Structure 1
Amino acid sequence: MTGPGEEAVRLPLAYHDVAVACSYHLASAAAVAALLPHDRGRPLLRPLPWPGGRTVVAVHAFRYRTVTWTGADGATRALAPYGEVGVTAGVLAGPAARGGGRPATGGFVLQLPVTSREARDLGRARWGLPKWLADMDFLDAPGRQRVRLTEGGTEVLTHTVAARGPAVRGSSSRTLWSVRAGRLLETTVPVLARWQARPGSGSATLALDDHPVAAELRRLELSPEPLAAFRALEYRSTLPEGRPLVPVTSPPVPVLAGSDAVLGRFTVTHPGTAPLPQYPPASVPA
């Protein structure tokens, strides 16, 4: 997370300027349940129920353009901009997971590739997130956003969202669970956003390619057509420390090792432009 002379990142992180496109897909509840943490065989999280033995999995494409934190001297520090693709299972956490109290709904992150080693290492160390380094090429067009995710020269997936129409503003919080240091970690993320939404077929597509991670997602029986898709015209959030909960005894879900480069490829294309690198070309391996 830090090198010689570098200051450790202090939480919370403030995400001031984020582009987000997401879609919600049906998947096999049994296949998702097999990836969720348990304690001595007792499930700690359960897939959100859907008819026909199905559940809901979200695919998010993020471009984090401004991410800051406050140093020990009170000065503002910043992470390098980065792209991220999240695959998150919708889950229910009951009293066994939370040490009593009311059940809660949220997400358990299954895959979380990013375009910077800094973001990868921070996510792994502080939240136990399944982050790995990848290349991402985004298209940002009126009414449509797309990301092509590549690792090691092999296509992983292409995710396209075509949400449009009136925007709705709202503030809420997202609850995410992960496993860190042998315990279930619960992180509550406050979000302020302005969304465009579009339900049903045609709002997004998810195409899986031939990469091993794509094969893992294919085993979840993800539907290529979504239940709904959303696009954020404005998105701000705060990422705090997680709250350690109960022990987890299940083996960790394997995380792709991936490249150990400092940066992956991170480009954005707008209508009528060539791909615009978000990092200096000399800093990204050919």
Structure 2
Amino acid sequence: MTEQGPVRLPLRYHDTAVASSYHLASAAAVAAALPRRGGQPLLRPLPGPGGRTVVAVHAFRYRTVTWTGPDGATHSLAPYGEVGVTAGVLAGPAARGGGRPATGGFVLQLPVTSREARDLGRVEWGLPKWLADMDFLDAPDRQEVRLGEDGAEVLTHTVRAGGPALRGSGSRTLWSVRDGRLLETTVTVLARWQARPGRGAAAVVLGAHPVADALRRLDLSPAALAAFRAVEYRSTLPAGRPLGLVDGPPSPVHPGREDAVGRFTVAHPGTAPLPQYAAG
């Protein structure tokens, strides 16, 4: 539900800035945050060396988001920023109702800069969204976001990917928990990516905040395995597919504030931060 009324899925993201990095984390700590049924895991962390697994950090700026109403008219969401922390997982037949295993991501944290985006994500997909402040920097050599809440810094995410842009299309599978059920959502993506492997590709610096403490408990490595930066990114987000019941409620979602919007700014080298929302 938005100020324009009920949203009719799918959502179409026409113009998005994306910077992503992939980090090692404790497989045991990630497994403890994943949904279970009858005490048995429905999703398993992707296996890595030395008891480690992969956790992705994504910084998004959604500049144009639309959907089509029953009358054929085009409606839109206000632009918003988002920082996603997603565990790389394998979903087996128990999770997918006997279907083939699949790999994708389970969303652990998903702060956004608008209450509209927060509420829609919670209701439609059960996503762990909460209202936050985000200050983005776009520079020729890097893209950075500082995520915070009420003056407390949660994290700073810096991506230094560059070079030739490669076009790719396909889909991403995401899992979340809504109304006590595992929900599987397939996002179609068309993008052109700049990529950079290695420890210098990106970094995450955690601040002093309860969500930062939760990420520390995952033993998230500050340096990245690899990073990607999109020079073009379009995607379609449909309704999810409900799967089986899970044990108990999902992990508690950070409550955040109840304001209409958080701080959302974008700066370029040598310029002052430009607010993306009108003062009010």
Instruction: Place the TM-score, normalised by the shorter chain, in its bin.
Output: over 0.9
Percent of aligned pairs with the same residue?
Answer: 79
1:273 matched to 2:274: no
Stretches of structure 2 that go unaligned for 5 or more consecutive residues are none
Q: Which residue of 2 aligns with 1:127?
A: 125
Letter in 2 for 1:39: R
Aligned equivalents of 2:99, 2:160: Cα separation in 1: 39
Query: Is contact 1:172–1:192 with CA below 8 Å preserved after alignment?
Result: yes
Task: Report SS of the residue matched to 1:122.
Answer: helix
TM-score relative to the length of structure 2: 0.99
Contact 2:43 2:91 in 1 (8 A): yes
Match of 2:180 in 1: 182
What amino acid is aligned across from residue 84 of structure 2 in structure 1?
G
Q: TM-score, normalised by structure 1?
A: 0.97
Pairing 1:65–2:63 present: yes
Matches within 5 A, 1:97-246: 97-246=95-244
- Equivalent pairs counted in the alignment come to 280
Report if the CA contact (8 A) 1:116-1:262 is conserved: yes
Aligned-pair distance for 1:8? 0.3
CA distance in 2, matches of 1:209, 1:153: 11
User: What amino acid is aligned across from residue 277 of structure 1 in structure 2?
Assistant: P
Q: Return 5+ residue gaps in structure 1 as ranges.
A: none
User: Which piece of structure 1 moves more, 29-38 or 242-251?
Assistant: 242-251
Determine the structure 1 residue equivalent to 2:7: 9
Distance (whole Å) between structure 1 residues aligned to residue 164 and residue 259 of structure 2? 41
The alignment status of 1:83 with 2:81, answered yes or no, reads yes
Q: Tell me what 1:34 maps to.
A: 32
In 1, distance between residues paired with 2:156 and 2:13?
25
Partner SS, residue 256 of structure 2:
coil
2:259 aligned partner: 261
Aligned-pair CA distance for 1:51: 1.2
Deviating above 4 A after TM superposition, structure 1's stretches of 4 or more consecutive aligned residues are none
**Aligned amino acid, residue 161 of structure 1:** V
Name the SS of the counterpart of 1:119 in structure 2. helix
Aligned 8 A contact 2:180 2:248 in 1: no
| Letter aligned with residue 150 of structure 1 | G
